[in-house]
Amino acid sequence: MAESTGPRGPYRKGLQRRREIVAAAAELFAESGYAHSSMRELARRMRLTQTGLLHHFADKEELLVEVLNLRDSSVADYLSEQHATDVATRSREVARHSAEHEGLTSLYIILSAEAIDRDHPAHPYFVEHYQAAQTLTLDPGPETPEGAPMGISPEMIATLGTALQDGLQIQRRYRDDLDVVEAVDAFWRLVAAARAHWVQQSASEDSDVRDGDSD
């Protein structure tokens, strides 16, 4: 007996139609922003009546959630395929994904700017997004005897790494010559070099202290 490979019939068609609507909504939000996009325009693009569109999604906020999930799933699937483990490699691959999926990245940039308003329906999503990014970008680095180099904590480095990713994607909209992957790599090389220098300096200072005590 042949095994079932997934939903069939009307249910499968319904899922496919939902995916198509979400993809069209992502394009619309990327073009016009969430606030200036309408269900009427989306229905027109999908060649549906508004009633037909509302059969699949109750309102624009429900669509917004699905659009944001689409972006997150795309990044997560890409990272799982790359088998990226360390923070520097994950950051590089996120930058590469963003450069290769300009529509989703434009969507992210526009919605993140709109959602600064606490009343925006995507505001809670971006609060959680940046909290998660802080965790995923956190790289404690090698253990050192006296805490963070120059008082720069791993948490601050993670914050700067996330800010770098977002800032580079905005700059890229104005600079065709910008290689975001190279820039991200450069940031993490600087972090590694600074850590190595600080560890070496700390070891040298400890040696001087021990030599002084022995005099």
Residue 199 has a pLDDT of 73
Strands (E), the chain: none
d(CA 162, CA 158): 6
Residue 1 has a pLDDT of 44
Contacts 24+ apart (CB under 8 A), 50-56: 53/21, 56/14, 56/17, 56/18, 56/21
Contacts 24+ apart (CB under 8 A), 46-52: 46/20, 46/21
d(CA 125, CA 117): 12
Nearest to 89 by CA among 197, 198, 192: 192
Residue 139 has a pLDDT of 75
The torsion of the CA quartet 144, 145, 148, 154, rounded to 10 degrees, works out to 40
Residues of the chain below pLDDT 50: 1-4, 144-145
Residue 110 has a pLDDT of 92
d(CA 79, CA 91): 10
**pLDDT tens, residue by residue, 8-30:** 556 677 788 899 999 999 999 99
Enter the tokens of residue 17.
């139609």
d(CA 111, CA 104): 10
- Burial code (b: 16+ CB inside 10 Å, e: under 16) for 46-63 equals bebeeeebeebbeebeeb
Q: What is the pTM of this model?
A: 0.75
